[in-house]
Amino acid sequence: MSAISVQNLTFAYEKQIVLEKISLQVKEKDFLAIIGPNGGGKSTLLKLILGINKIQKGTIKIFEQEPSKKLSLIGYVPQNTNINIDFPIRVIDVVLMGHVPIVNLPKKSFFKKALRWRDEGETACAMGALGQVGMEEYAYKKIGSLSGGQRQRVMIARALCAHPKILLLDEPTASIDVDGQKQIYDLLKVLNKSITIVVVTHDISVVLEYASKVAHINKKLTFHDVSYQANFQKSNGHFCEVEMMQMLGAQKGCSC
């Protein structure tokens, strides 16, 4: 069964087409990297899957159902985690937001839930999620006092809080130093044993080292299985996008 199935998806802001006839299958426990130029439509595709943007043409299915019905199975880590740094909130409270499930909450438990403010089970679960990303000891620190990489791991913990089957990450390492980036991807690799991972990234070396599939999106889609990545094992630890494009079967390419 496909975790995510996109069929003939076309999307436009106003009259400008951003995505054109995208078809894409993500199987369970895939590690898909979505690459492509800025403005190529990568983030838009994520937002369509999440239902933040409304689908105009084509279909998206999550485990064979409408995305709106399966939202609870998707964990999302947004692109910019540097917003609201001054906000007076502790790490644990950010992670607890992964719960906030108001949908279909039976009326009887509503007041109980509201009045108790914090559920012990939920707190334990949030601590567990923090443990998974190695951030337990920071649980009662203010979010603004963490580094970018630590904050990103907290956001991953928030997404894990809802026990997702699919984890979507939008540029998770954009504002993080090299060591922090490696830690994040090593963490994703571990999570990938039980969770399907889709990551939008600029970082080509990630694709080679961690991803099992790669999709290049620039309005249209080029999709590749990189299980044959062994042939392309990084020789000097550095790959540029041009080489990547060559690997993906683009016609033209130059040395870099």
Partner 1 sequence: MLEALGYQFIQNAIIAGVLVSFASGIIGSLIVVNRMVFLAGGIAHTSYGGIGLAIYFGLPLFFGASLFACAAALLMAFVTINQRDKIDLFIGLIWAVGMAVGILLVDLTPGYNVDLMSYLFGSILAVSRDDIRYISLLLGLIVVIVFLFYKELLAVSYDSEYASLRGVNVRFFYTLILVLSALTIVVAIKVVGLILVIALLTIPIYIAEKLSSSLAWMMFLSGIISTLFTLVGLTLSYLYDLTSGATIIMVSALGLTSFLVYDKLKGRQRF
**Residues at the interface with partner 1 (CB under 8 A):** 50-52, 71, 76, 78, 83-84, 86-90, 93-94, 97-103, 111, 114-115, 117, 140, 142, 158, 162
Shortest distance in whole angstroms from residue 90 CB to partner 1? 5
Q: Which is nearer to partner 1, 122 or 203 (CB)?
A: 122
Q: Which is nearer to partner 1, 75 or 214 (CB)?
A: 75
- Tokens 């076309």 belong to 10
Q: Which is nearer to partner 1, 90 or 165 (CB)?
A: 90
Shortest distance in whole angstroms from residue 10 CB to partner 1? 23
DSSP 134: T
Q: Which is nearer to partner 1, 21 or 99 (CB)?
A: 99
Shortest distance in whole angstroms from residue 114 CB to partner 1? 5
Q: Which is nearer to partner 1, 153 or 219 (CB)?
A: 153
Q: Which is nearer to partner 1, 51 or 58 (CB)?
A: 51
Query: Where would I find the beta strands (DSSP E) of the chain?
Result: 2-13, 16-27, 31-35, 57-62, 74-77, 166-170, 196-200, 213-218, 220-225
Exposure class string for 127-148: b at 16+ Cβ within 10 A, else e: bebbebbebeebbeeebeebeb
Shortest distance in whole angstroms from residue 182 CB to partner 1? 26
Residue 45 φ/ψ region, left for φ over 0, alpha for ψ in the -120 to 50 degree band, beta for the rest = alpha
Round to whole Å and give the CA distance between 21 and 6: 9
Shortest distance in whole angstroms from residue 161 CB to partner 1? 10
Shortest distance in whole angstroms from residue 160 CB to partner 1? 13
CA-wise closest residue to 200 among 20, 51, 82, 79: 79
Cβ contact 214:243 at 8 Å:
no
